[in-house]
Amino acid sequence: MGEALLFWPLSVLILGLGVMVVSAQSAVHSVVFLVINFLLVAVLYVTLNAEFIAVIQVLVYAGGIVVLYLFVVMLVNLKKEPERFADPRRLARSGLVLSGLVLALIVVAAVSSVLRNSGEGAVSGELGSSTPFVSGNTEQLGWVLYTSYLVPFELVSMLLLVAMVGAIVLAKRHL
Amino acid sequence: MIGVIGVLVRRNIIVIFMSIELILNAVNINLIALSDQLQDLAGQVFVVFVIAVAAAEAAVGLGIVIAFYRNKETVNIDEIQIMRW
């Protein structure tokens, strides 16, 4: 039940952000919506018992690919200046709203953590904080990846090497 | 679905690449959901491969975009007509 409660708003947000990625006027806005979309998809992976893939999603997509997109947008799209930012009040207002949201988030997180600690204080006191949390998903995935799928794994590594060399050669100014 | 519409509708090639990433993300979500349903880890292995291939595709595609922009000063695919060296 809780999973469904998380799933439906998440999927609606993901789909809406996808629409906004496609329909945004400026490419920079598209990239920002794409980052949020990738992070929400990572949350969806966590709810689907794929923690390792969620971490990989955040690292590779939100960390690597989006930075690549931002660099290319910076290099390419320098012509059109957005006129809406000429109004200084707009930035101030949106900053106020965003900082209020962050404050509310911090308050909610603090209150919920305090409540949880007061509830589980007796249990966690005898276990101690040194108990390691091992998911197990990463170990299983690594086992399957390095035994049954060893040859495709090596092929993918070769593909990544070739793509890296190719991208450098393509983007280089003088060969 | 949204990604496919984006590929078809938009005329900025960078947004088209982002739409392709959206399509690959949809595939990944489906693979992981099925892997969770069937209790089979092969889906997640495939997702790792898809992410690797998507990273390679993004790198090479954006390299092409940069090289093209340096020559033609445009990212509009209607103006990209030549395919000569």
CATH number of the domain where residue A10 is located:
1.20.120.1200
Tens-digit pLDDT profile for residues A91-106: 778 888 888 888 888 8
* CB distance B77 to B9 below 8 Å: no
Is A78 at the interface with chain B, CB within 8 A? no
Nearest to B13 by CA among B65, B79, B81, B83: B65
Q: What is the second-level CATH architecture of the domain B2-72?
A: Orthogonal Bundle (1.10)
A119 part of a folded domain: no
Please, which pLDDT band fits residue B5 given cuts at 50, 70 and 90?
low
The residue that leads in pLDDT, A52 or A125, is A52
A118 part of a folded domain: no
Lookup: tokens for B52: 């690797």
Q: Which amino acid is at A73?
A: V
A107 part of a folded domain: no
How many separate helices (H) and strands (E) can be counted in chain B?
Answer: 3, 0
Residue range A50-61: mean pLDDT, rounded: 84
Chosen from A72, A140, A157 to mutate, greatest number of chain B CBs within 10 A: A72
| Record: contact A68-B36, CB cut-off 8 A | no
A91 part of a folded domain: no
Within 25-64 of A, beta carbons closer than 8 Å to B belong to 27, 30-31, 34, 37-38, 41, 44-45, 48-50, 52-53, 56-57, 60-61, 64
* CB distance B26 to B4 below 8 Å: no
Q: Is the pLDDT of residue B84 over 80?
A: no
Lookup: tokens for A171: 């983007």
What is the ipTM metric for this complex?
A: 0.76
Residue that finishes a domain, picked among A53, A80, A107: A80
| Record: contact A141-B60, CB cut-off 8 A | no
Q: Is the dihedral of CA B76, B79, B84, B85 positive or negative?
A: negative
Helix, strand or coil for residue A100? helix
Beta bridge partners of B76: B12
Backbone angles phi, psi at A77, to 5 degrees: -95, 80
Is A150 at the interface with chain B, CB within 8 A? no
Is A74 at the interface with chain B, CB within 8 A? no
Which chain A residues contact residue B8 at CB under 8 A?
A: none
**Residue A154's domain spans which residues?**
138-175
